[in-house]
A and B are shown apart, each in its own frame.
Chain A
Amino acid sequence: MSGLLRAGAAELAGRIATGEVSAREVTAAHLDQIAGVDDRIKAFLYVDGTRALAAADAVDAKRAAGEELGPLAGVPLAMKDIFTMKGAPTTCGSRILEGWVPPYNSTITDKLLAAGVVVLGKTNMDEFAMGSSTENSGFFTTHNPWDNSKIPGGSGGGSAAALASFEAPLAIGTDTGGSIRQPASVTGTVGVKPTYGATSRYGVVAMASSLDTPGPCARTVLDAALLHQVIAGWDPRDATSINAPVPDVVAAARHADVAGMKIGVVREFGGDGYAPGVEQRFAEALAVLEGLGAEVVEVSCPHFDYALGAYYLIMPSEVSSNLARFDAMRYGLRVGDDGVNSVEEVMNLTRGAGFGAEAKRRIIIGTYALSSGYYDAYYGSAQKVRTLITRDFDAAFAQVDVLVSPTTPTTAFTIGERADDPLAMYKADLCTIPSNLAGNCAASIPCGLADGLPVGFQVMAPALADDRLYRVGAALEAELTSRWGGGLLDQLAESPSGAYLNVGGVR
C-alpha cells in the first residue's frame, strides 16, 4: 500500500492503464491515508470517499470496456476549496460561505472530471486565499508534514500538505501573490503558477481578478506538467483567458535539458531578511544548473523592491470590490434578519460576523486606497509600479531565458509566529509577487533542506513560455534526485520524523 502512496501520478496512471492496479485500489489507499494521518495534518476541509470511489470505478469500467484512458485517468487529486464542484461544499476557508453547495462546476473541475482524475475532497486554505500560512482559515490551521509545529505555507497550504503527507499525488491551487509557490517551497513539493490567463478562472472564487491564476501542484515536475496540460487552455467563459496554444509542458518536463540556456539570478532577491540556509541551497542549485551546461548571469530588476508595496495596494483594492458579492442576499451566511433591521444593517452584521481578521484588514485597506483623495497616491502609484515591474521583466528576458531566485526568503515558520504581525507575514511573498503583477509564469522546485525544512527554488519565465519552467525544473530535479538517491519527500518518508506518515520502507 505504501507503494501506491509513494508513487507519482505518471506512474500510477501507467499502472492503472495496464491493469496492474485498479483505480479503486489507488483511491482507497489514499482515502485510508487521509483517514490515518489527516487528524495531524488537517489538510482537508471536506472528503467525499463515496464520490471518489465512484469516479475511480468509472475509470476502471472504461478500461474494462477497452476505452482509451487519458494520461491522468484514475489518479487522485486534492482540490483547493476555492474551485466550485457541483454537490461539494465550497467555503474558500470562510465562515461566510459555510455550507454553501455550488450549483455548477468550475471549468477546471470539468476538465479534471473529463480527464478521469479522481477528486478526493477540498483542501484547507487561508480565507479567500489571503495569507501565507493557512492560519487565516475560518476553520483550522493546516500543519506542515515535515514538522507539525510549522506552517504549511498559504494560501494553498492544504493542497501542499496533502501532497507532502502522501494523501494525494496531485493537487490544484490558485496563485495570486505566491499561494501555489510558497506552500510548495515550504513543504518540499512542486508548484506552478502558469501564465496569467492560461488557466481559466471561471468557477474559481475571485480574490484579486487581475492576479488570480489557477495552477498545478505535485510531488514531481513531470506530474505537475501532466496536470498543467489537463487544466490549461482557452475558456470562452473567462473573458481574460488567452486564446493561444498551451506550450508542450510535458515534452519540456521529459526533455529536462538546460544546456545552453541562459539563467538570470535576480540581484534584488537576497541578503537582508533571507535565511543563510535558504541562500546556501539556492547557490548550490545554481551550481547544479551551471554544471548541466546552463550559463548563469546576474540580472538587476530594480523595481522589484517596490513590488510588495504595489501588490498590497492593488490586491486589497480588488479584494474590497470582489468580496462585495458576499452581501447575505443570494448565498452564504445571513445575520440579523429579524424583520426590523434594514438590508444595509443585515449586510453590516453578516460581513462583520462572517469575515475573519485578514479579510477585514484587506477590505479596509482597499476601501481606503480607492477612496477619493487617496486614489492617485495609492492605487494610481501602484499601477505605475506595475508597469515598471513589467518593464524590468521585459528587459531581463531580453538578456536571459529564465530568471531564478529563492521562492521565499525563509523555510516554514512556526505556527503563531507571525499571526499578529501582518507585514512580516506579507514578506513571505516577496519573491513571488512580481510574476503575478506582470502576469508571466513561475514555478517552485524543491532544492534541499535547511535545518531539516524544505527550501524552494523559483524559476520565472516570460508569458506563454511555461515550458521553460518545466525544462529547468526537471533538469534540476533529475540531478538533485540522483545525488540524493530519491526525491526530497522520500527523505521525509524514510526519516524518523516522517514515521507517523506510515509510508517508509522499500517502495
Chain B
Amino acid sequence: MALTPADVARLGELARVRLTEEELVHLAPQLDVILASVARVAEVAGADVPPTSHALPLTNVFREDVVTESLAADAVLAGAPSVEDGRFRVPRILGEEA
C-alpha cells in the first residue's frame, strides 16, 4: 500500500494544506505505519454488521421556528484577517484567465 511523498502531496492539496518537501518525506512512512495498523478493522467488519455514525439515535433535530438575536456584524468582523466596507475581504476567487 506504501504511500509515496507524491501521494501525500496530492492528499495535502485536496485538503488545502501545503506541505514542505521535508514534511512529505517525514509524513509518508509515518502514515504508512498508521494506516497499516488501523486497517485491521476490516478483519471484523462483516457485511452483516450495520455501520454506526453516531452514538445517539437522533434524526432531524429542529429548534423552535422563532427569531432570535444573532451576533452583531462588527463583533464578528473584529476577528477577521481582513475587512473592507463592513464585509470580509478575501483574496481573488477567479483564475488569471478569467
Contact = CB atoms under 8 A, between A and B. Distances in A.
Interface of A: 100-104, 196-197, 210, 236, 239-240, 242, 303, 306, 308-310, 312-313, 320, 324, 327-334, 337, 339, 341-349, 351-352, 355, 357, 360-361, 363-368, 371, 377-378, 380-388, 390, 422-423, 426, 437-439, 463
Nearest to A101: B79
Contacts of A348: 13, 16-18
Given A313-B41, A346-B91, A239 B61 contact: yes
A19 B15 CA distance: 56
A334 B88 CA distance: 12
A299 B64 CA distance: 45
Interface string B12-36: 1111111110010001001101110
Contacts of B11: 364, 367-368, 371
A378 B39 contact: yes
B16 A344 contact: yes
Contact of B34 (A240, A312, A333, A463): A312
B15 A341 contact: no
Contacts of B92: 342-343
Contact of B35 (A345, A365, A384): A365
B67 interface: no
Contacts of A365: 31, 34-35
Contacts of A368: 3, 11, 31, 35
B67 to A, nearest CB: 15
Contacts of A344: 16
Interface residues of B, number: 57
Given A313-B38, A360-B23, A422-B30, A387 B52 contact: yes
Interface in B37-62: 37-46, 49-56, 58, 61
Contacts of B45: 380-382, 384-385
A367 B34 contact: no
Nearest to B53: A383
Interface residue SS majority, chain B = loop
Given A352-B18, A368-B35, A384 B81 contact: no
Contact of B51 (A102, A306, A352, A386): A386
9 contacts: A240-B54, A242-B56, A312-B38, A347-B16, A348-B17, A363-B15, A364-B17, A367-B15, A390-B52
A361 B91 CA distance: 27
B30 A361 contact: yes
Given A337-B81, A378-B38, 20 more contacts: A100-B79, A103-B78, A240-B56, A310-B38, A313-B41, A330-B88, A337-B82, A342-B92, A346-B91, A352-B17, A352-B18, A360-B12, A361-B34, A364-B12, A368-B3, A368-B31, A377-B42, A378-B35, A388-B49, A422-B30
A213 to B, nearest CB: 10
A327 B53 CA distance: 26
B19 to A, nearest CB: 6
A118 B56 CA distance: 33
A381 B42 contact: yes
Nearest to A333: B81
B61 A196 contact: no
A371 B15 CA distance: 11
- Of B11, B14, B27, B52, the most chain A CB neighbours within 10 A belong to B52
Nearest to A328: B81
The 7 A-B residue pairs with the shortest CB-CB distance in the complex, in nearest-first order? A439-B55, A352-B18, A383-B51, A381-B45, A334-B81, A384-B45, A103-B75
Nearest to A382: B41
Contact of B71 (A103, A313, A426): A103
Contacts of A422: 30, 33-34
Contacts of B61: 239-240
B18 A349 contact: yes
Interface in B56-98: 56, 58, 61, 63-64, 71-72, 75-76, 78-82, 88, 90-95
B46 to A, nearest CB: 7
A320 B90 CA distance: 22
Contacts of B78: 101, 103
A378 B63 CA distance: 34
Contacts of A104: 71
A239 B38 contact: no
B95 to A, nearest CB: 7
B18 A309 contact: no
Contacts of A387: 49-52
